[in-house]
């Protein structure tokens, strides 16, 4: 048998490209993911099919089971905190007007939405758990989004919908505002202040409610992102 005289440390081993979730361009070419110019995260659910191991390998088999679902409205509710801004007007609780802070986790919502879109369109179809460094294709997808896609979008605006309701004679509902995905288009408001963190991960909406001793409000919001 003929010797190759190649030291073992210089042997070439074939590895899966999916082990690296960071896109790196070279002189000749680079992989390119086509993304939408604008994103609107509203209340339309996203469905997809996958195996119990999270992989997407054969749609004909996977579609015989119940679909997986991502609800943007539930995600936006979970990534929102609504609090009274007592630091700005401590006496506001006793007055007829109350200042509210809507704090929205933009980065988490956008990550979850993009993950669902990738699953819907089977962007990573054919990738097995064993072909990722995490041994989990879902973790690989999230890391791909964090490394390559989030920085290609920027926050554009929030559509805030708000409708007043009476607290009732017994005043038991005071300050108990409600999430409501069924608000009509005419309930869209613009009389609030927007404060965006420098990394665009969090946005705060500062809203002054009038007659808070007599009314509560239903609320909902949509998020607009645009490609950089």
Shortest CA distance to 195 belongs to which of 183, 187, 207, 203?
A: 203
Within a domain: 213: yes
Q: pLDDT, tens digit, for every residue of 119-170? A: 999 999 999 999 999 999 999 999 999 999 999 999 999 999 999 999 876 5
Domain membership flag for residue 16: no
Examine residue 13 and state whether it is found in any structural domain, yes or no. Answer: no
Residue 18 lies in a domain: no
Is 4 within the bounds of a domain? Answer: no
The alpha carbons of the chain give a radius of gyration, in whole angstroms, of 24
Domain annotation covers residue 56:
yes
Question: Is-contact 141 69, C-beta < 8 A?
Answer: no
- Backbone phi, then psi, for 163, in 5-degree steps? -135, 130
215 belongs to a structural domain: yes
For residue 70, the enclosing domain spans 36-227
Question: pLDDT tens across 89-113, in order?
Answer: 666 565 688 999 999 999 999 999 9
Range in 9-13, 92-96, 173-177, 221-225 with the lowest mean pLDDT: 9-13
What's the domain count of the chain?
1
Query: Does residue 166 belong to any structural domain of this protein?
Result: yes
**Rounded CA gap, 109 and 84, in Å?**
23
Q: How far apart are CA 146 and CA 21, in angstroms?
A: 9
């Amino acid at each position: 048998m003929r010797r190759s005289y190649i030291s073992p440390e210089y042997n070439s081993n074939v590895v899966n490209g999916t082990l690296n979730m960071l896109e790196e361009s070279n002189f000749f070419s680079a992989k390119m993911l086509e993304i939408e110019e604008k994103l609107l995260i509203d209340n339309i659910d996203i469905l997809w099919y996958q195996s119990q191991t999270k992989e997407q390998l054969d749609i004909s088999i996977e579609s015989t089971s119940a679909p997986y679902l991502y609800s943007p409205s539930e995600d936006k509710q979970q990534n929102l905190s609504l609090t009274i801004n007592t630091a700005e007007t401590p006496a506001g609780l006793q007055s007829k007007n109350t200042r509210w802070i809507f704090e929205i986790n933009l980065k988490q919502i956008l990550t979850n939405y993009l993950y669902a879109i990738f699953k819907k369109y089977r962007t990573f179809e054919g990738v097995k758990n064993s072909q990722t460094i995490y041994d989990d294709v879902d973790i690989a997808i999230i890391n791909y989004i964090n490394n390559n896609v989030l920085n290609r979008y920027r926050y554009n605006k929030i559509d805030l919908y708000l409708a007043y309701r009476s607290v009732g004679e017994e005043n038991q509902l005071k300050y108990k505002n409600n999430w409501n995905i069924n608000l009509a288009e005419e309930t869209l408001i613009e009389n609030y202040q927007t404060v965006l963190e420098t990394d665009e991960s969090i946005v705060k909406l500062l809203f002054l409610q009038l007659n808070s001793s007599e009314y509560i409000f239903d609320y909902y919001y949509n998020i607009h992102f645009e490609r950089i």
